[in-house]
C-alpha cells in the first residue's frame, strides 16, 4: 500500500518534474509535442474532476437537507439553482443540447441577468469593506505607520480628480509613490517569492517535501 | 529655312530616347543598388520550422523600395513563389538580439525568418528538404534580382543555447539548495527567525477547541499546478494533524475539484497518522463553487452562519481576499493569512491577526515540522537572495556607467 | 471617546451608500487632467496618419465591464474620429458580446462601414500561440471574422498581412494578457503597444512603462475618465469619477477622524 500511495506518486513527481523542467531548455518539436500532450492530459483530468466537485457539492447539501441542519433551506436553493440552469442548458433555446449552443436563450439570460449582476454585487461589497477596514486599522501608532498613513492619503487623493483640484502636485507625488517606493518593495517581495517557489519546486521534485501527499512526512 | 527644319527634325529624333529614359527613371527614387551579401541558414534554437535569411543593407533602402524573397525547392527552379515582401527600411538584425546580440553593426544588415512549410501550404514536404532563396530589390516597376542563391534546411535544435544563462542560474540555485539540505542533516540545530503567524497556529486551534467551534481553511483560487496551492496544501496537512490531536472540527472550502480531492486525501492521511481515522469526515472538505464571486458569497455565508473560531487564508488570492478576511473579522475569529499575491497583502495585513508575507508561505511547512531537510532549503534561499542582491548592486553600478553587458547576460529569451 | 473607535461598521456602510447615491444623482464637474501614460496613448493615436491600422484586443469579460468598457468606447471614439481603420479581436470567450456592442455603437456614430472601416474577428483560444500565429499571418489565425466573412475579402485589412503591419495595438486587459502581448507579440513582431487595465492591475504594469514596452497605460475607471476627457466624449467613466472621488474623500475623513479619536483617547488614558 505504501508503495502505491507513496513511492509511485513520488517517482511520477520526480520524473515529470525533471522532464518538464528540461523541456523548457529544449526547443525541438518533440519537446513541444510533449508539452502539448501533458497540458492536454491536464485539461482532460480537470474535465473529469468537475464531476467529483459536483458530487461533493450535491452530496454535502443533500446531507444538510436530510439532517435538517441549521440553515438547510439554503441547501435547497443549491438544488433549485442547479436544476433550473441545467434545464435551460439542455433546452438550448428549443434546439436541445445536441445542437450547437444557441444565442439569446434563457440560459444566456440567466447568465447575463442573474449571475453577472450577482457577481458584481459581491464585488461591489469591496468598496464598503475597504472603508470599514481602513477606519479600524489605519492608526498612526508608530513612526512607520504614520508614514504609511500619509502615503495612503496622498495616493488615494492622487487617484481621483479631487486630488488634482486640491493641488496638481498630489497626483504627481502619488504616481511617484506607486512607481518608486511601492514598486521597489514589490520587486523585493517578488524576488523572495520566486526563490521560495524554486526551492519548493525542487523539494517536491526531489521528494523532500511530501506533506502534499498527506500525513506529516 | 530648310536647314532650320532639318536641325529641328534631327534634334527631335535624338530627343526621343532621352525623353523615354527620363520618364522611366522618374518613377525610381534613385538607381537601385542591390545588397552585396545574401545568406540563408537554419534558425538556431527553434523547433525546426523556420529558416533565417540575412543580407547587407543597400544605400537604396527607402520606404518605397521593397525587398522580395523568392523561394524554391529546387536549386535550378524558376523561383516564382514569393515568400516575403518587406519595406527595405525595416527588419534589421537589431530586431533579433537572440541571434546577433547587441553588436554595433547589426543595423547594417537585414534579417528575416521564414516558415517554408507554411509557404508551401498543403504540399507534402520531406523533413530534410533544402530550400533555395533568391533576393530581389524593387521599386515601382523596376526590380533587380540578385544572382546569389542562398540555401538552408530547417532543423530542430535540441538545446536552446540562449537559455544557457537561465540554465546556469537553475544549476547554481539547485546546487546551493542541495548543499544546504545535505548540510542540514549534519547540523539539525539551525537558527530560524520567529514567524508570528505560525507560532499563533496552536493558539488559534486551542481556542477553537475550547469554544467548540470549527476551524475554517481557505486555500485561494489557483489550481493544483500553482506552487502557492501546493504550499497551502502542505500547511493544511500540518494543521490537520494538529487538529486531529486537539479533536477540533476542521472545514476546508474549495473552488477547484482537483484541489478538493487532494485536500481530502491530505486531511484523511493526517487524521490517520494521528490515530483518529474515525474523526475524518469527507463532507468537511468540500467544493463550494467554482466561480470567484459565488465562491466568496458561499464562504462568507459559512463564516457568518457557523462562526468559526479560527480562519486560515493560505494560498493565492485575488479580489476576494478583503471580502473574505473582513467578513471573518466581523465574526471575531482569529485570522491567520499567508499569501504570495503581493497585491492582496495590504488587505490581509489590515484585517487578519497574523499574515505570512510572500516567501514565509513557502517556509511554513519547514517551520511547522522543524524537519532538518526542509529547514536546509530556507538557508539556501537566504544565500540565493544574497547572491541576487550582489548581482543587482553590481548591475546597477555598471549600468550607471553605461556598461550594460551584465544586463544582457541576464536577458531572458 | 472609545465607542467612536468601535463604531458599528454598518454606519460606515450607510454613509458610503448615501455618498455614492448622492454623488451619482447630483451632477457636478470635476477637472480630469490626463496623466502622462494616458496622454501618451492619446498622442500616439493623434500622430497616426489617416487610414492607419489600429488593433484592439478586448481581453475582458462582464466582470470587469464597468472599468474597461468605457475605456474601449472612448478609445474607439478617438480612432474613428481620426479615420483610422479598426480591427478588433479577443482572447476571452465572454468578451465578443461586449466588444461588438462597443465597436458597432461607436462606428455608427461616425457612419463607418463594417468591412471597409472596421472589422471584428471575435474570440479564439490559444493565448500566446494565437498571438504568434497572428504575428506570422493574420489570415491563417483568423480565416473568418466574427460574422463568418472570409477575412481575405475585407477591404479594411488591405496592406495588413500580420501584426507587423499593425500601426498600433491597444490591449484592454482584465487578466495577464498584457504580459502575453509583450512577450509573444510586441517583442517578436515589433509593433507599438498600449494598454488599458483594471485599477488593481495598474501598479503591476508600471515596470513595462519604464522599460518602454508599453507606450501608454490607462488604469481603471480613472484612466477611462481621463481618456473620455481627452477625446471630449465625457460619459460613464467621467460620471463614475464623482462617486469615486467622494468615497475616497470620505474614507480619508474616516481615517483622520479615527486617528484624532485615537490620540484623544490615548491622551485621556495617560492623563
Q: Which residues of C97-125 are buried (b: 16+ CB within 10 A; e: fewer)?
A: ebbbebbeebbeeeebebeebbbbbbbee
Range A109-122 average pLDDT = 86
Residue B374 confidence (pLDDT)? 83
A122 at interface of B, judged by CB pairs closer than 8 A: yes
- B38-153 placed in CATH 3.30.300.30: no
C7 at interface of A, judged by CB pairs closer than 8 A: yes
Alpha helices in B124-246, H assignment, sequence order: 164-186, 196-211, 227-246
Residue B152 confidence (pLDDT)? 95
Q: Which residues of B57-69 are buried (b: 16+ CB within 10 A; e: fewer)?
A: bbebbeeebbbbb
Identify the residue with better confidence: A121 or C195. C195
Per-residue pLDDT for B262 more than 60? Answer: yes
Specify the pTM: 0.80
The nearest CA of chain B is from the CA of C211 a distance in Å of: 13
Handedness of CA C162, C163, C166, C167 (dihedral sign): negative
Per-residue pLDDT for B122 more than 70? Answer: no
Query: pLDDT band at C43, cuts 50/70/90?
Result: very high
What's the CATH architecture for B190-370?
A: 3-Layer(aba) Sandwich (3.40)
Q: How far apart are alpha carbons A89 and A159 in whole angstroms?
A: 43
C204 at interface of B, judged by CB pairs closer than 8 A: yes
Q: What is the pLDDT of residues B82-108, one digit of tens each?
A: 988 887 887 888 777 788 888 888 889
Query: pLDDT band at B124, cuts 50/70/90?
Result: confident
B244 at interface of A, judged by CB pairs closer than 8 A: no
Nearest chain B residue (CA) to C186: B95
B305 at interface of A, judged by CB pairs closer than 8 A: yes
- Chain A, window 176-195: residues with a beta carbon less than 8 angstroms from a chain C beta carbon: 178-179, 182-183, 186
Alpha helices in chain A, H assignment, sequence order: 2, 8-23, 29-67, 72-91, 106-110, 116-137, 143-158, 161-166, 169-177, 183-205
Closest CA to B163 of A24, C180, C187: A24
The nearest CA of chain B is from the CA of A169 a distance in Å of: 25
Range C244-267 average pLDDT = 90
DSSP states of C12-57: HHHHHHHHHHHHHHS------PPPHHHHHHHHHHHHSPTT-EEEEE
Q: How many CB pairs under 8 A join A and C?
A: 100
Per-residue pLDDT for B1 more than 80? Answer: no
Residue C110 confidence (pLDDT)? 95
Range B99-126 average pLDDT = 84
C-interface mutation test, from B68, B94, B95, B296, most C Cβ less than 10 A away: B95
Residue B149 confidence (pLDDT)? 94
Q: Find the range with the poorest average confidence among B15-19, B115-119, C127-131.
A: B15-19
Residue B359 confidence (pLDDT)? 87
> Between chains, do B288 and A189 touch, taking CB under 8 Å as contact?
no
Which among A131, A140, A159 has CB closest to C254? A131
Which among A122, A130, A195 has CB closest to B385? A195
Do the bridges between strand B250-254 and strand B130-139 make them parallel or antiparallel, or are there none, so unpaired?
unpaired
Domain positions in chain C are 2-27+245-270, 36-234
> Between chains, do A213 and B258 touch, taking CB under 8 Å as contact?
no
A204 at interface of C, judged by CB pairs closer than 8 A: no
CA B251 distance to own-chain centroid: 35
Place of cell 473620455: C228
Identify the residue with better confidence: B230 or A36. B230
Residue A112 CB neighbours (<10 A): 13
C-interface mutation test, from B89, B294, B343, B404, most C Cβ less than 10 A away: B343
Superfamily of domain C36-234: TPP-binding domain (3.40.50.1220)
Residue A96 confidence (pLDDT)? 83
Nearest chain B residue (CA) to A61: B283
Q: What is the pLDDT of residues C79-93, one digit of tens each?
A: 999 999 999 999 988
Residue C1 confidence (pLDDT)? 66
Query: pLDDT band at B17, cuts 50/70/90?
Result: low
Chains that touch B (3 or more CB pairs under 8 A): A, C
Q: How far apart are alpha carbons B244 and B308 in whole angstroms?
A: 17
Do the bridges between strand C118-123 and strand C85-90 make them parallel or antiparallel, or are there none, so unpaired?
parallel
The nearest CA of chain C is from the CA of B346 a distance in Å of: 12
Identify the residue with better confidence: C250 or C94. C250
Q: What is the pLDDT of residues B304-356, one digit of tens each?
A: 999 999 999 999 998 899 999 999 998 999 999 999 988 889 889 988 999 99
Identify the residue with better confidence: C199 or B150. B150
Per-residue pLDDT for C66 more than 50? Answer: yes
Identify the residue with better confidence: B7 or B246. B246
Q: Find the range with the poorest average confidence among A116-120, B306-310, C17-21, C220-224.
A: A116-120
Q: What is the pLDDT of residues B31-77, one digit of tens each?
A: 789 999 999 999 999 888 889 999 999 998 887 898 999 999 999 99
Contacts of C200 in chain B (CB under 8 A): 319, 343
Range B228-248 average pLDDT = 91
> Between chains, do B265 and A63 touch, taking CB under 8 Å as contact?
no
C260 at interface of A, judged by CB pairs closer than 8 A: no
Query: pLDDT band at A61, cuts 50/70/90?
Result: very high
A65 at interface of C, judged by CB pairs closer than 8 A: no
Query: pLDDT band at B20, cuts 50/70/90?
Result: low
Q: What is the pLDDT of residues A134-172, one digit of tens each?
A: 888 888 888 888 998 899 999 989 888 888 888 989 988
Handedness of CA C255, C260, C265, C269 (dihedral sign): positive
CA C249 distance to own-chain centroid: 24
Residue B162 confidence (pLDDT)? 86
Share of chain B above pLDDT 90, in %: 42
Query: pLDDT band at A216, cuts 50/70/90?
Result: very low
Range B12-29 average pLDDT = 54
Identify the residue with better confidence: C94 or B262. B262
Sequence-ordered list of residues with C-beta below 8 angstroms from that of A211, at least 6 positions apart, any chain: A217, B233, B234, B237, B238, B266, B365, B369
Closest CA to B298 of A48, C63, A57: A57
Share of chain B above pLDDT 70, in %: 92
Strand order of the sheet with strand C217-219? Answer: C118-123, C85-90, C53-59, C168-173, C193-197, C217-219
Per-residue pLDDT for B7 more than 90? Answer: no
Query: pLDDT band at A119, cuts 50/70/90?
Result: confident
Domain positions in chain B are 38-153, 190-370
Which among B95, B293, B319 has CB closest to C200? B319
Residue A4 CB neighbours (<10 A): 8
Q: Which residues pair with B81 in a beta bridge?
A: B71
Place of cell 524537519: B371
Sequence-ordered list of residues with C-beta below 8 angstroms from that of A214, at least 6 positions apart, any chain: B237, B265, B266, B267, B268, B269, B270, B272
Q: How far apart are alpha carbons B270 and B275 in whole angstroms?
A: 9
Confirm if B65 and B32 have CB atoms less than 8 A apart: yes
Q: What is the pLDDT of residues B368-385, one digit of tens each?
A: 888 888 888 888 889 999
Torsions phi, psi for C119 (to 5 deg): -150, 155
> Between chains, do B238 and A134 touch, taking CB under 8 Å as contact?
no
Residue A215 confidence (pLDDT)? 53
Amino acid at each position: 500500500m505504501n508503495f502505491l500511495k507513496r513511492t509511485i506518486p513520488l517517482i511520477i513527481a520526480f520524473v515529470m518534474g525533471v522532464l518538464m523542467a528540461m523541456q523548457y531548455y529544449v526547443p525541438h518539436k518533440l519537446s513541444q509535442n510533449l508539452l502539448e500532450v501533458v497540458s492536454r492530459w491536464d485539461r482532460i483530468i480537470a474535465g473529469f474532476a468537475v464531476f467529483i466537485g459536483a458530487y461533493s457539492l450535491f452530496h454535502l447539501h443533500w446531507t444538510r437537507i436530510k439532517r435538517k441542519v441549521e440553515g438547510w433551506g439554503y441547501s435547497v436553493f443549491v438544488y433549485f439553482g442547479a436544476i433550473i440552469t441545467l434545464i435551460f442548458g439542455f433546452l438550448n433555446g428549443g434546439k436541445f443540447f445536441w445542437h450547437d449552443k444557441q444565442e439569446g436563450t434563457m440560459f444566456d439570460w440567466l447568465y447575463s441577468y442573474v449571475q453577472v449582476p450577482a457577481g458584481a454585487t459581491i464585488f461591489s461589497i469591496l468598496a464598503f469593506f475597504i472603508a470599514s477596514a481602513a477606519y479600524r486599522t489605519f492608526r498612526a501608532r508608530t513612526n512607520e505607520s504614520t508614514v504609511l498613513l500619509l502615503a495612503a492619503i496622498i495616493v488615494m487623493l492622487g487617484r481621483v480628480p479631487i486630488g488634482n483640484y486640491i493641488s496638481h502636485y498630489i497626483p504627481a507625488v502619488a504616481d511617484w509613490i506607486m512607481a518608486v517606493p511601492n514598486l521597489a518593495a514589490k520587486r523585493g517581495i517578488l524576488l523572495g517569492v520566486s526563490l521560495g517557489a524554486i526551492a519548493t519546486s525542487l523539494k517536491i521534485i526531489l521528494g523532500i517535501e511530501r506533506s502534499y501527499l498527506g500525513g506529516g512526512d | 529655312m530648310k536647314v532650320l527644319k532639318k536641325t529641328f527634325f534631327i534634334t527631335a529624333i535624338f530627343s526621343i530616347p532621352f525623353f523615354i529614359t527620363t520618364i522611366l527613371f522618374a518613377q525610381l527614387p534613385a538607381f537601385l543598388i542591390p545588397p552585396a551579401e545574401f545568406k540563408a541558414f537554419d534558425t538556431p534554437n527553434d523547433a525546426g520550422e523556420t529558416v533565417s535569411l540575412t543580407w547587407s543593407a543597400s544605400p537604396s533602402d527607402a520606404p518605397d523600395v521593397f525587398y522580395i524573397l523568392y523561394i524554391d525547392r529546387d536549386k535550378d527552379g524558376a523561383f516564382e513563389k514569393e515568400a516575403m515582401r518587406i519595406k527595405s527600411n525595416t527588419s534589421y538584425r537589431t530586431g533579433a538580439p537572440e541571434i546577433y546580440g547587441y553588436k554595433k553593426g547589426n543595423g547594417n544588415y537585414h534579417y528575416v525568418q521564414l516558415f517554408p512549410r507554411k509557404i508551401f501550404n498543403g504540399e507534402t514536404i520531406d523533413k530534410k528538404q533544402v530550400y533555395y532563396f533568391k533576393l530581389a530589390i524593387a521599386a515601382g516597376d523596376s526590380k533587380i534580382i540578385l544572382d546569389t542563391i542562398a540555401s538552408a534546411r530547417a532543423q530542430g535544435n535540441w538545446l536552446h543555447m540562449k537559455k544557457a544563462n537561465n540554465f546556469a542560474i537553475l544549476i547554481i540555485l539547485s546546487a546551493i539548495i542541495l548543499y544546504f539540505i545535505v548540510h542540514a542533516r549534519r547540523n539539525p540545530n539551525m537558527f530560524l527567525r520567529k514567524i508570528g503567524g505560525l507560532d499563533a497556529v496552536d493558539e488559534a486551534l486551542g481556542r477553537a477547541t475550547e469554544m467548540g467551534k470549527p476551524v475554517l481553511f481557505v486555500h485561494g483560487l489557483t489550481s493544483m499546478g500553482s506552487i502557492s496551492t501546493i504550499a497551502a496544501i502542505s500547511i493544511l496537512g500540518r494543521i490537520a494533524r494538529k487538529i486531529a490531536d486537539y479533536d477540533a472540527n476542521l472545514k476546508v472550502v474549495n473552488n477547484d475539484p482537483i484541489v478538493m480531492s487532494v485536500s481530502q486525501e491530505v486531511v484523511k492521511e493526517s487524521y490517520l497518522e494521528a490515530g483518529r481515522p474515525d474523526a475524518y469526515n469527507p463532507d468537511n472538505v468540500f467544493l463550494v463553487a467554482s466561480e470567484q464571486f459565488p465562491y466568496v458569497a458561499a464562504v462568507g455565508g459559512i463564516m457568518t452562519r457557523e462562526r468559526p473560531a479560527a480562519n486560515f487564508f493560505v494560498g493565492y488570492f485575488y479580489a476576494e481576499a478583503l471580502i473574505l478576511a473582513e467578513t471573518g473579522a466581523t465574526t471575531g475569529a482569529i485570522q491567520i493569512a499567508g499569501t504570495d499575491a503581493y497585491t492582496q497583502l495590504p488587505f490581509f495585513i489590515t484585517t487578519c491577526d497574523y499574515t505570512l508575507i510572500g516567501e514565509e508561505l513557502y517556509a511554513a511547512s519547514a517551520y511547522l515540522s522543524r524537519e532538518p531537510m526542509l529547514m536546509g532549503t530556507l538557508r539556501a534561499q537566504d544565500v540565493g537572495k544574497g547572491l541576487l542582491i550582489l548581482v543587482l548592486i553590481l548591475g546597477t553600478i555598471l549600468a550607471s556607467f553605461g556598461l550594460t553587458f551584465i544586463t544582457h547576460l541576464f536577458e531572458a529569451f | 471617546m472609545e465607542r467612536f473607535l468601535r463604531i458599528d461598521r454598518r454606519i460606515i456602510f450607510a454613509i458610503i451608500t448615501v455618498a455614492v447615491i448622492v454623488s451619482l444623482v447630483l451632477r457636478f464637474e470635476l477637472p480630469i487632467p490626463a496623466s502622462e501614460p494616458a496622454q501618451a496613448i492619446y498622442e500616439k493615436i493623434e500622430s497616426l496618419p489617416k487610414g492607419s491600422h489600429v488593433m484592439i484586443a478586448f481581453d475582458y469579460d462582464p466582470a470587469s465591464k464597468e472599468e474597461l468598457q468605457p475605456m474601449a468606447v472612448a478609445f474607439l471614439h478617438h480612432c474613428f474620429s481620426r479615420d483610422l481603420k479598426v480591427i478588433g479581436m479577443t482572447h476571452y470567450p465572454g468578451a465578443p458580446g461586449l466588444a461588438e456592442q462597443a465597436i458597432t455603437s461607436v462606428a455608427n456614430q461616425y457612419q463607418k462601414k463594417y468591412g471597409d472601416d472596421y472589422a471584428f474577428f471575435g474570440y479564439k483560444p490559444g493565448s500566446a500561440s494565437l498571438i504568434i500565429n497572428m504575428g506570422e499571418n493574420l489570415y491563417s489565425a483568423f480565416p473568418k471574422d466574427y460574422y463568418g466573412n472570409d477575412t481575405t475579402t475585407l477591404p479594411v485589412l488591405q496592406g495588413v498581412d500580420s501584426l507587423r503591419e499593425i500601426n498600433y495595438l491597444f490591449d484592454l486587459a482584465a487578466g495577464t494578457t498584457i504580459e502575453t502581448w509583450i512577450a509573444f507579440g510586441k517583442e517578436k513582431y515589433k509593433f507599438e503597444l498600449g494598454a488599458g487595465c483594471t485599477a488593481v492591475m495598474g501598479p503591476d504594469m508600471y515596470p513595462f512603462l519604464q522599460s518602454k514596452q508599453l507606450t501608454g497605460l490607462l488604469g481603471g475607471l480613472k484612466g477611462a475618465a481621463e481618456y473620455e476627457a481627452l477625446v471630449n466624449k465625457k460619459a460613464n467613466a467621467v460620471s463614475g469619477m464623482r462617486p469615486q472621488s467622494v468615497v475616497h474623500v470620505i474614507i480619508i475623513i474616516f481615517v483622520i477622524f479615527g486617528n484624532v479619536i485615537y490620540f484623544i483617547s490615548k491622551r485621556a488614558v495617560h492623563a
